[in-house]
Every structure is written in structure tokens, then in C-alpha cells.
Amino acid sequence: MSVKNAIQSIIAEASRIDVLVNNAGYAINGAFEEIAMDELKDQYETNVFGVTRVSQAVLPIMREQKSGIIVNISSSVVTMGGYPGGSAYIGTKFAVEGLSRSMTYELEPFGIKVVLVEPGAIKSTNFANAMIVAKKSRDPDSPYSQMMHKVIEAVEHLWEGGSSTEVVAKVVLKVVTTENPYPKYLAGQDVEALTETKRSMSDEEFYRTIKQNLIKGIT
């Protein structure tokens, strides 16, 4: 109902919707074995179903206009392919990328563009502070307790050296002001470097590199 009311309010004031940026999201960290189903459902409710709900609500308007752009904020974890303790969050971001790519084919005939923006670590946001550790993985007696402690330390360190929020804002602005934007844009030097590294390696080599360097000391 809140989505419907918000859209009705915008239409009443502006008569159209040209841009939708789906940016809401949070991360739950925890060993896959220990993530409760209700924790997983909450993660998907925000990161995937939220994107779906709002996008479906604006699409009839954009189709009638025969124009519009939807920007879905993904994450560099998709390029990374995964990390220990991140299965729930990473699963949602792979889902968002799959949704976006499929939507592109469906909506292009109606003049609607769908673009992914894939940020790296971004400091000065509430994202890192809002991270949740699955309840079972907080238990000191958990077989994954030591791993999760190292994961949290690694994530905190990563965010300390992250890019500014302006980096993402500038990329989003570029996307919505470009006549024919690319299907996906990167935001941040870390994800750009990661992507270049992945292009130069086989999947097996990239996996070893991630394990030895980017998540060194976690496993």
C-alpha cells in the first residue's frame, strides 16, 4: 500500500515517472547452514521482492509514456562470485542481476531501459552498520564462530577503504542522462580492478586469487 500511495502522490504532482532507482537493501552474514528460513525470507523481501514490487508498480506508467529507465543497484559481490558467510546477501544480488537482464528484453520494445549499477565497497553509508549476523552464527559455540569473526573484521576493513557515496551518485546520474546507456556500470576503483582481474583469468584461477587475497585469513 505504501508503494501505491507514493506512486499516486508522484503522479498527482508530476503526471509522469521517468526514473526509478532501486537502492534499498541490507546484508545478513552467516554460514549457510545456520541461516534461519525467516532470516533468509527477510533478506529476499527487501533486496529482491522490494525491487520487484516497486518496479511492477511503475511499469504501467512507463509503458504508457513509452519511455523510462529503471536503475537497479547490485553489488561487486556478483563479480567476486561469493565469500564465506555471504550466501544470503549474495544470492539476492545475483537474483537482482538476473531479473534486470531478463526485464531488459521485455521492456525494450516499450522504450523502457533497465540498467544495473554495481558498486564496490562504499564508505559513509549506513550499509556496513546495518549488517546483521545470523542468530545461530553469533553463538560462540557455533562451528563457524571463528570464521564469522574473521568475516566481520574483513568486511569492516574493506569498508574503511571504500569509495565515497559521490562515486555511485555520479554513475547513476550518468546512466539516467545518457541516451543509450550500457546494460551495466561499475562504481568504485575496487570493483573495476576486480573486474579486470577476472577478465584476465580462468574461473579456477580467479577463485584461487579471491581465496588467497581478497578473503585471505577468513577460511
| Residue 170 placed within a domain | yes
Mean pLDDT of the chain: 91
Rg of the chain over Cα atoms, rounded to whole angstroms, equals 19
Three-state secondary structure readout of 63-82: HHHCCEEEEEECCCHHHHCC
Residue 216: predicted pLDDT:
52
| Residue 219 placed within a domain | no
- The residue-averaged pLDDT of 138-147 equals 92
Residue 219: predicted pLDDT:
43
- Split into its structural domains, the chain has a count of 1
pLDDT exceeds cutoff 90 at 148? no
- The residue-averaged pLDDT of 153-164 equals 79
| Residue 121 placed within a domain | yes
What range does the domain containing 14 cover? 2-214
Question: How far is the C-alpha of 134 from the C-alpha of 148, rounded, in Å?
Answer: 10
Residue 125: predicted pLDDT:
65
Angle at 71 between CA 105 and CA 93, to 5 degrees: 85
Per the model's pLDDT, the better-predicted residue between 154 and 201 turns out to be 201
Q: Answer yes or no: are the C-beta atoms of 78 and 97 closer than 8 Å.
A: yes
Residue 83 appears among annotated catalytic residues? no
Domain of residue 95, CATH code: 3.40.50.720
pLDDT tens per residue, range 38-73? 999 999 999 999 999 999 999 999 999 999 999 999
pLDDT tens per residue, range 91-100? 999 999 999 9
Q: Catalytic pick from 83, 89, 144, 185?
A: 89
Exposure string over 55-66, b if 16+ CB within 10 A, otherwise e: bebbbebbeeee
Question: How far is the C-alpha of 110 from the C-alpha of 101, rounded, in Å?
Answer: 15
pLDDT exceeds cutoff 60 at 79? yes
Residue pointed to by grid coordinates 550518468? 174
| Residue 76 placed within a domain | yes
| Residue 125 placed within a domain | yes
